[in-house]
Each structure stands twice: as C-alpha cells, then as structure tokens.
A = this chain, B = another copy of it.
Amino acid sequence: MNIGEIARLAGVSRSTVSYALTGRRAVSDKTRKRIERVIAESGYRPNASARALKEGRTRTLGLVIPPASRALTDMQLGFVASVVEAAARVDLDVLLSPSGGDHDRSFERLVTGQRVDGVIVMEIRLEDARVARLQQTRIPFVTIGRTAQPDSLSWVDVDYAHLIGRCVHHLADLGHRHIALINRSQELVASGYGPGHRALAGFTEAITERGISGMSLCCADDAPAGHAATRRLLAEHPDVTAIATINEAALRGVQRALDNAGLRIPRDFSVTGVVAQHWAEDFHPPLTAADVPAHDMGSRAVELLLERIAEPESAARHVLLSPPIALRSSTGPARSG
C-alpha cells in the first residue's frame, strides 16, 4: 500500500494525495474527503524512509546513552525517559545509541548516516571524544552535561558546584565544622566526569570561604560501597558531623553505616546533597537535598536541539539548572562536643 495505490483508488494523482496529506497545497473539500475515506479504509501511512529521503530530514532524534555494560543510574534513566517523552510530544522519534568512547559503530551510524536530524549526548566528560566527533560533522547536537570548553556548545546541566556549595553553607550555618563530600566513583572522576569535578570545586570553595574543615572521598555507585566508605570515614575522621553527596546510589549504604554506628539522623549526624527526588524521599528521614530535575533536563535538551536544527547557525545556548534545596529532615544543628 503506497501513495500511488491510494491515488488510484481515489481517482486522483499522487501529488494530490500528498497535498491532501500534508496540507501544503489547497485541495477541494470533495476530493480531500474522498482521499481521506480511502486512506482510512486501507490503513495507509506514508513510508517514513521515502519521506525522509525526499524531505532531507528524518523526524528522528538520536540519543547517545552510556553502554549497557555500565548500568544506567536512576538519574540517567530519568533523562532517557524525559527525552523520549518530550520528543514524542512533538511527534519525533528517538533512536538510541549505546556508545562509550570513540569508534563505536552505532555512534558512527547515528552521526554520519543521516539517520537522525540531531543528537543528544548524555554523560558528558570534560574531554569527550564523542563531542569532538560531533563537532567535526555538521549535525546539530546538544549535551546533557558540559565539557571543559562549553561556551560554543548548546547544553543543559545542573550547577553541581553551586549546589554543593549551598549544601556546605547550610551545614556550616547549622554549626557543622567538619564536613565530608562523598563523590562518585574514582574511575568516573578520574575519567573527567564533570559533576564529580565541579562538585569538588564547589565544595572546596565553600569550605574555604567558611574557614571550616572538609574532606572528600570517592565512592562507587552502589549501597555496599556507600556503606564501606562511610564506615571508613567515621573511623578515620571521627570529628566529621555531616556529609554532602552527589552519589545517590550510595545513600542506602551511608544510611546503614550511620545506623550501625549508632548515629541518629539528624540528631547526631546530618546528611544532604544533590540527588534525584526519588532518592531524597526514600531516605530515612527524608533527605534535605537539591532535587536533580531529570525530567526537566530532558525536555529542555529537546527544546534546545530543536532550536539548533531549525537554525544551525544561531548562537549556542546554555541552560544551567540550579534547583532549590528542599528542606526535609536529614540536617540539623551540629552535636556540640
């Protein structure tokens, strides 16, 4: 079933069917009705490949995700879901590419095969081979997260530096003088993962500004690692009375370790950070934290990408989100003594 068949059944030419379908040329009511009836009866829908070939656009966006081998975090999942949903709202489809470094076949198909009109890349490193590759091509793209040289690119990111800084100030205001930052995993930070670096920078700056003592440690993205890291922290730095973290997956382990040490939250110990709302609310007691607006980020990314597709030569735009810290129940005055 193709457009010629519909034209034959409706007794008109192929172009008339096409125009009736797209509305790009006036078609008399009578013939449009007839065409619509035939289409409804036959269940015809235009062939996407033919249309893409002719129009020079695919009505499809590419989304580059971390390879499945590295399990996606809750937050990354939130991005994927929100990107897909935002795209669907404007009748765009989303092609997924699980690509880590460079030289990935699926990634190459995406960027050079004219399969998509634009690309969204997530889990950006400060130096990112995929971004470099995309810049070589002419394809419009937007990143979730930003590289070390972000000015010329369109991106949406969370202001980890600022937010972790605010967490530190909040804790300092409550009288805490020894604060620990629990960062993401060693490898991730070592590989130039932006949020890890920027969180540390914001932490250090705020600690310095307040003239208090801070220490930071890396921790793998799971509960057992959080448990181990916190235990070690309590043992080696007994004067620490508060934790700020961007590692949501470690939270459960952090909680268990504090529990086991007989420390009650927030009476004996405070915990705060930047994590998905989901995790903040599941914490016990609910975590005072800046909720990463994953859903918002996905739709903003789609928005920016559509702009770049529409006007490839327009100036790059940035969205740096800084959600408010939701005051819940996991932070309190520092235990005196």
Contact of A88 among B98, B113, B224, B282 (CB under 8 A): B98
Question: Is the beta-carbon distance between A95 and B98 smaller than 8 angstroms?
Answer: no
Question: Is the beta-carbon distance between B93 and A115 smaller than 8 angstroms?
Answer: yes
List residues of A (37-92) whose CB comes within 8 Å of B's CBs.
43, 45-50, 52-53, 58, 60, 65, 67-69, 71-72, 77, 80-82, 84-85, 88, 91
Q: How far is the CA of A50 from the CA of B48 in the complex (A)?
A: 11
Measured between beta carbons, the chain B residues less than 8 angstroms from A115 are: 48-49, 93
Residue in chain B with minimal CB distance to A55: B49
Measured between beta carbons, the chain B residues less than 8 angstroms from A82 are: 68
Q: Which of A69, A81, A85, A110 has the largest number of chain B CB atoms within 10 A? A: A81
List residues of A (213-247) whose CB comes within 8 Å of B's CBs.
222-224
A209 to chain B, nearest CB (A): 36
Asked if A106 is an interface residue, CB under 8 A from chain B, the answer is yes
List residues of A (240-298) whose CB comes within 8 Å of B's CBs.
252, 256, 278, 281-282, 284, 295
Q: Which of A45, A58, A88 has the largest number of chain B CB atoms within 10 A? A: A88
Asked if A114 is an interface residue, CB under 8 A from chain B, the answer is yes
Q: How far is the CA of A256 from the CA of B110 in the complex (A)?
A: 46
Question: Is the beta-carbon distance between A49 and B112 smaller than 8 angstroms?
Answer: no
A168 to chain B, nearest CB (A): 28
Measured between beta carbons, the chain B residues less than 8 angstroms from A24 are: none
Question: Is the beta-carbon distance between A81 and B94 smaller than 8 angstroms?
Answer: no
Question: Is the beta-carbon distance between B68 and A72 smaller than 8 angstroms?
Answer: no
Q: Which of A43, A68, A256 has the largest number of chain B CB atoms within 10 A? A: A68
A-B contact pairs, 18 of them (CB 8 A): A43-B112, A45-B109, A48-B115, A49-B53, A68-B81, A68-B295, A71-B81, A71-B278, A81-B98, A84-B96, A88-B105, A93-B110, A94-B96, A96-B96, A223-B282, A224-B282, A252-B252, A256-B284
Residues of A within 8 A of B (CB): 43, 45-50, 52-53, 58, 60, 65, 67-69, 71-72, 77, 80-82, 84-85, 88, 91, 93-98, 105-106, 108-110, 112-115, 222-224, 252, 256, 278, 281-282, 284, 295
Other A-B contacts than A43-B112, A88-B97, A88-B98, 14 sampled, CB-CB below 8 A, are A48-B58, A48-B109, A49-B49, A60-B95, A68-B81, A68-B82, A68-B295, A77-B77, A84-B96, A91-B105, A93-B110, A94-B96, A95-B96, A224-B282
